[in-house]
Amino acid sequence: MKNPTQKDIAHKLKLSVTAVSKALNNDSDISEARKQQVRECANEIGYVRNFMASNIRRSSSMMVGLVCSDLSQPYFSSVLFACENVLLGAGYQPLLFSSYEDAQRELNILNQLSSLNVAGMIVALAQNSTKSIQLLRRQNIPYVLFTRWHEKESDHYVVANDYMAGYIATRCLLEQLPSHPVLCINGPDNISPTRMRYEGYLAAMKEQDIAVAPGWVFNNLRMPEDGYRVGIEAGRRIKPPFTAFCSTDFIASGFLRGVFDQGLYVPQDVSIISVDDIIEARYMTPALSTVVLPKEQIGAMSAGMLLKLIACGSVEEPHLSLEPKLVLRETTRNG
């Protein structure tokens, strides 16, 4: 049986094939009512667009590359869902990839997306992505960085205020348990969120004239098992009570279990605040106090910025930093 074509839609609606094509491509020449009529007819007759064929005919496609640094991180699911919704609503097809913090893998993905003639790219850069950012700048393809920036003054990006996330979490811990160690359980070394959250931690400590001891900072962690290992070590080495600022909820989940397995109670012996507010945070035992990042806003605004770059070539505000907020639950003494 022959697959339905744009000609079939045009015949059924008594429109030109050009009008149908423009409607399916979300062209501004076509009214929203007509676009909706064409989409409904396409669904009714079972028409499926051939995106690859469309790419060949167009100077740029209706596809957008979404490149995430690590899809195993729960944080990204909310960001990407919001991003996809905006792109799909505007008639673009997202192509989702993950670099898993591998700069060479990321570079290969970006090269492949470029060869597909994508309309634009939205990227959360992997660590040490110098070559990737160079490629993005060489290509005449609009791009937006999300959750992370590479060069703060020159990139287009949408991020959270990670400095403030680290600062407000650490300040809260200091208020709860003054004059006791505040550990920093830190994320991957070479990404902007980790660096900025650490700077916020240091600023809060300095504000209270507290010198950070070398044994209080644990660097370059990513996974729950990393947090668990540090929780075991901290539970063995540091006399309670103490507190811990974890760079992500994902790491904190492992740290929480590690100190528990060392016989420490949370929050009586160890108070914990982390960052992200992934959905699992509220269902941990005890429920995790955390700094909430505006994940859905980051995703939606990243897609919106890219769409404007595609349409206009520039945006009024290329650097967007969204404010976090603290939510106290059961891993802190006043949660």
**Token pair 């990204």 is at which residue?**
76
pLDDT on residue 214 = 87
Q: Is the peptide bond before 94 cis (omega within 30 degrees of 0)?
A: no
Query: What are the distances in angstroms from CA 251 to CA 86, 278, 291?
Result: 30, 11, 14
Predicted confidence band at 130 (pLDDT cuts at 50, 70, 90)?
Answer: confident
Q: What is the mean pLDDT of residues 82-98?
A: 95
Domains of the chain, first to last: 6-49 (1.10.260), 63-160+295-323 (3.40.50.2300), 162-293 (3.40.50.2300)
Q: CA-CA distance, 108 to 115, in Å (whole number)?
A: 11
Of 261 and 36, the structure prediction assigns the larger pLDDT to 261
pTM given for the model = 0.83
Give the pLDDT of residue 66: 97
Q: Dihedral sign, CA of 88, 92, 97, 102?
A: negative
Average pLDDT over residues 224-232: 98
Residue 236 predicted with pLDDT over 50: yes
CB 95 within 8 A of CB 113: yes
Give residue 53's pLDDT band: very low, low, confident or very high (50, 70, 90). Answer: low
Copy the structure tokens of residue 67: 């490149």
Percent helix, percent strand, percent coil in the chain, to nearest 5: 45, 15, 35
Q: Band the pLDDT of 54: cuts 50, 70, 90.
A: low
pLDDT average, residue stretch 72-79: 92
**pLDDT for the residue 56:** 46
Task: Using DSSP, state whether 245 is helix, strand or coil.
Answer: strand
Q: What is the mean pLDDT of the chain?
A: 92
**Contact residues for 17 (Cβ-Cβ < 8 A; gap 6+):** 6, 7, 10
Q: Say what the pLDDT of residue 115 is.
A: 87
CA distances from 169 to 96, 199, 274 (A): 32, 12, 7
Say which residues have a Cβ less than 8 Å from residue 70's Cβ, sequence separation at least 6: 76, 98, 99, 100, 101, 222
- Token pair, residue 168, equals 């407000």
Q: Could you give the CA distance from residue 192 to residue 65 in angstroms, rounded to a whole number?
A: 22
CA-CA distance, 252 to 257, in Å (whole number)?
A: 9
Please report how the helices 32-45 and 17-24 are oriented relative to each other, as an axis angle in degrees rounded to 10. Answer: 100
- Position 29 confidence tier, pLDDT thresholds 50, 70, 90: confident
pLDDT band, very low/low/confident/very high, at 124 (cuts 50, 70, 90): very high
143: helix, strand or coil = strand
The residue among 161, 95, 151, 88 whose CA lies nearest residue 125 is 151
pLDDT in tens, 134-154: 998 888 889 999 999 998 888
Higher per-residue pLDDT: 304 or 47: 304
What pLDDT is recorded for position 257? Answer: 97
Per-residue pLDDT, 139: 85
pLDDT band at 57 (very low <50, low <70, confident <90, very high): very low
What is the tens place of the pLDDT at every residue in 254-289?
A: 999 999 999 999 999 999 999 999 999 999 999 999
Query: What strands, in cross-sheet order, belong to the sheet with 319-322?
Result: 93-98, 63-68, 120-123, 143-146, 157-160, 319-322
* pLDDT tier, 26 (very low <50, low <70, confident <90, very high otherwise): confident
Structure tokens at 233: 């070590």
User: Band of the pLDDT at 17, cuts 50, 70, 90?
Assistant: confident
| Cβ count near 319 (within 10 Å) | 15
Predicted pLDDT of residue 5: 87
User: What pLDDT sits at residue 3?
Assistant: 77
Q: Hey, what are 254's tokens?
A: 């492992």
**Is the pLDDT at 43 greater than 90, yes or no?**
no
Q: Is the pLDDT of residue 51 over 70?
A: no
